[in-house]
Amino acid sequence: MFFLSVLLSVFSMPGFLWGGFIWVSLIPLFISLQKKSLIKGTFTTYFFGVLFLSITHYWLLPVLSVNVPEVLMSFPGYIGIICYFLMGLVMALPYLGIGFSYVLLRDKLKDRPIIFSLYVSSIFTIFEFLRSVGPLGFTGGRFSDALASQTGILQILSIGGSMLGVFLIVFVNALIYSLWLKYKNKKIMILAVVILVVFSVNGIIQQNIPFINYEKESMEEIVGIQTNVPQSLKYNTDIKESYNIILKSLEEVNNGSIVAFPEGTFMFDIRNSLYEKDFLNLIKDKNLKVLVGFPRYEKESYNQIGLYTSEGVEKEFYAKIRLTPFAETLPFPEILGVFEFLKFLDFYEPGKEFTVFKIDDNNIGAQICYDSYYSEVSRGLVNNGAEVLLTLTNDGWFNKTGRLQHSYQSMFRAIENGKYMIQVANTGITAIYDPYGRMLKKLPTIDENSSNHILSTFSYIPIKEKSFYTRYGEWIVYLSIIMAVIIFIYSLFIKRNE
């Protein structure tokens, strides 16, 4: 039953089989924990987390064992394999807390389906949130990711973010399980009724998602340029070929356009370099405003997005806030300094400001790559005035599944904040999502079109209004803490049912 739960949870993730599995995927785990002791139950849940998260992110294995070693030549492939398995062990650590808390009150609450379900969904929500905290935190493999194909229920993200999705999913799983325990002869009926309700609600909401009236007068445009530059070329010291691709793509852009390039378009600080002259002259000739990613080296170094206009590069820039551990920053160097060899280009300082670019009448909140996995970045940009969101990323390391899972993070952030989200990626996926998570346009990836660049105009409506989630953030986490504490106190007054 334990392994069935792992498989159902993995198969529900984007890029696998069907997101609907998530509504029953935890039931086999609860069954396997029925008679386990506190210690065994804690570690069973932890190993569920290790397997679930490791398999969900299987696409990182070839990245670490093949792609990065071949391009950077900084460590052998077998070291990458070891790092991949260590990553799974670390990502799953909060599942120790889930397992311990679950087994602790399991027997006292199992005859009270609603209270049991509220408690289980609360502890999952609390520890899932903790999984995203700190320099080693990561949100990939969140249960709410399975809702990517369930556009109706996905709208709850505008109320409580992805953590509300986690709470709801675990609540449904726990409710089915606890009702099974109470009404043993009605298992099929209970499962059918609950699942019917869930998918009926999804269908009703989906059918009633508003149609957006696209009036040309109210729309703005951004030209997204997807460079299809392989990592082997991007990290090559001879940059002429990739530089020529950048100039050629700019030549195809209409005069006066706002342009967005991917993260790390230049792998060096282009300011005041020999390469800046032709780049800037082209921008001047066509009167362009260009958002472009390149490292910025001053007193501190940043992975950042700069804005070029006909006047040159603006002083204001956005620096990546959530840096990729070990690739862009070294967490806890006194302890983890041995992993310094995993560094990609350089170690950077995290950004401290939610910079919003004000270009003509556009207030653009642009974030970088890994940032899109974290709701707080998009939310911070919108609270700072952004009326449209951008994710500029270099996903050239990833396979189809990795690119898809990352792209869906942009979808989630769009719904959470009620804003259009444009993702511009080296090699793809480059796409635009509307405020309800509907993909309006997608460019072919490098696997579908091997041209060295693809560009397209993305039209959007600037939106000033803020969603409930943008205003109030992770309220469901605080509510979960309160409920978990109240239910724990309540359990102290329940005579244990032996």
pLDDT digit string, tens, across residues 270-321: 998 889 999 999 999 999 999 999 999 988 999 999 999 999 999 999 999 9
Q: Does pLDDT of 398 surpass 60?
A: yes
Do residues 262 and 393 touch, judged by C-beta distance below 8 A? yes
Q: Catalytic annotation on 83?
A: no
Which candidate in 234, 289, 320, 419 is catalytic? Answer: 320
Q: Catalytic annotation on 320?
A: yes
Do residues 466 and 389 touch, judged by C-beta distance below 8 A? no
Q: Is the pLDDT higher at 214 or at 363?
A: 363
DSSP SS3 for 100: helix
Q: Which amino acid is at 320?
A: K
Do residues 419 and 372 touch, judged by C-beta distance below 8 A? no
Q: Does pLDDT of 217 surpass 70?
A: no
pLDDT of residue 215: 74
pLDDT of residue 495: 66
pLDDT of residue 142: 97
Q: Does pLDDT of 396 surpass 80?
A: yes
- The Cα 126–Cα 119 span in angstroms is 11
pLDDT of residue 110: 87
Query: Could you count the other beta carbons within 10 Å of the beta carbon of residue 30?
Result: 22
Which candidate in 220, 263, 328, 474 is catalytic? Answer: 263
Q: Catalytic annotation on 263?
A: yes
The dihedral built from the CA positions of residue 321, 326, 331 and 333, taken in this order, carries a sign that is negative
The dihedral built from the CA positions of residue 8, 14, 18 and 24, taken in this order, carries a sign that is positive
Two structure tokens written together for 491:
């359990």
pLDDT of residue 345: 82
Do residues 219 and 388 touch, judged by C-beta distance below 8 A? no
Q: If you average pLDDT over every residue of the chain, what do you get?
A: 94
Nearest CA among 443, 391, 456 for reference residue 417: 391
- CATH H-level, domain 219-460: superfamily: Carbon-nitrogen hydrolase (3.60.110.10)
pLDDT of residue 498: 43
pLDDT of residue 483: 98
- The Cα 478–Cα 164 span in angstroms is 11
Two structure tokens written together for 57:
């992110």
Q: Does pLDDT of 424 surpass 50?
A: yes
Mean pLDDT value of segment 441-461 = 94
Can you give the residue ranges of every domain in the chain?
2-209+475-491, 219-460
Q: What is the pTM of this model?
A: 0.95
For 327-374, the pLDDT digits (tens) are 999 999 999 999 999 988 889 999 999 999 999 989 999 999 999 999
Which candidate in 128, 234, 328, 369 is catalytic? Answer: 369
- The Cα 223–Cα 261 span in angstroms is 9
For 17-73, the pLDDT digits (tens) are 999 999 999 999 999 999 999 999 999 999 999 999 999 999 999 999 999 998 888
For the chain, percent of residues with pLDDT exceeding 90: 86
